[in-house]
Structure 1
Amino acid sequence: MTILTLDTDMFHTIAPKGLRAESADLTAAEFRSRYCEHNGPIRLDDWSPAGSRTAEFTATVEFADHLRTVTAAGSPVAAMTSALYEEGYPVEILQFHQRRTPDGTVTFVQCECDGRRGWGAGLADDGAESTVRAMIAGVNLLGVS
């Protein structure tokens, strides 16, 4: 698992229109802290793509009292949505935006869980890991427990 850094000003520039409007008064550092940090009850503990020729991945997600490993082929959104639901986080992805940058792939997701909505963002080498990071950041931002 590689953690990348992206010029935080770029997050404002490439964010979806709704998120740019919501975060217009934030500095780049505040934007990153609010939408990209993974502080909360859910954390990505480990990540590994299964191979460069397949769309498979394995993610180990840490919940409050245990780890759960998700192995999937295909959509990381579907796999993570199912895993989160089974752990008591009935999350729905309302908007999904992904951009490739020179620094990696940035994913923005607008999540809804228990009637609350919020954005999450993630950056990683590949789109699947970026998606998982964004989903976790979004659910944690909602403070769902």
Structure 2
Amino acid sequence: MTILTLDTRAFIAAAPKGLRAECGGLTPAQFYDRYCEHTGHIRLSDWSLAGNGSAECVATLEFADQLRTFSTTGSPVAAMTSALYDAGYPVEILQFHQRRTEAGTATFVQCEVNGRRGWGAAMADDGAESTIRAMIACVNRIAR
């Protein structure tokens, strides 16, 4: 996994219009704390993507200090959705936006879990890691 230095203003500018409207009065730091926070019930400990054609995704997630490893064939979105569902978080992706920026790939997801909706966002070197991190940020935000 690669940790990127984040230009938060450029990151916010890459967000979809609905999210930009929702966070209009926030400072870049407040935006990051609200939508990108990587602390909460779920943490990503490790993940990998391998295979040709149909990819195998392996993610190790930490739930309340317990590590659980999930392995699924398919896209990172399908793998993370399946892993979260198996862990008791039936997540539905309502909106998905991904944009390449100078700093990396920005991903913005609006999810619903048990009737509650919210946005999550992440930036990473590649789209798969950015997607996984945005989904976890979103579920953590909803589950608070």
Using structure 1 for the length normalisation, give the TM-score: 0.91
Is 1:30 the counterpart of 2:30? The answer is yes
Inter-partner Cα distance in structure 2 for 1:79 and 1:36: 20
Alignment of 1:66-105 (within 5 A): 66-105=66-105
Alignment of 1:1-145 (within 5 A): 1-50=1-50, 55-143=55-143
Using structure 2 for the length normalisation, give the TM-score: 0.91
Task: State the superposition RMSD in angstroms.
Answer: 1.8
Q: State the identity %.
A: 71
The aligned length equals 144
Preserved contact between residue 57 and residue 79 of structure 2 (Cα < 8 Å): no
Letter in 2 for 1:35: Y
Gaps of 5+ in 1: none
Letter in 2 for 1:16: P
Deviations 1:109-128 (A, max 9, x none): 00101111100001111111
Deviations 1:48-98 (A, max 9, x none): 332698744322111114212223343111111111111111111000000
Preserved contact between residue 5 and residue 123 of structure 1 (Cα < 8 Å): no
> Which stretch shifts more, 38-47 or 59-68?
59-68
Paired residue secondary structure (2:131): helix
Letter in 1 for 2:114: D
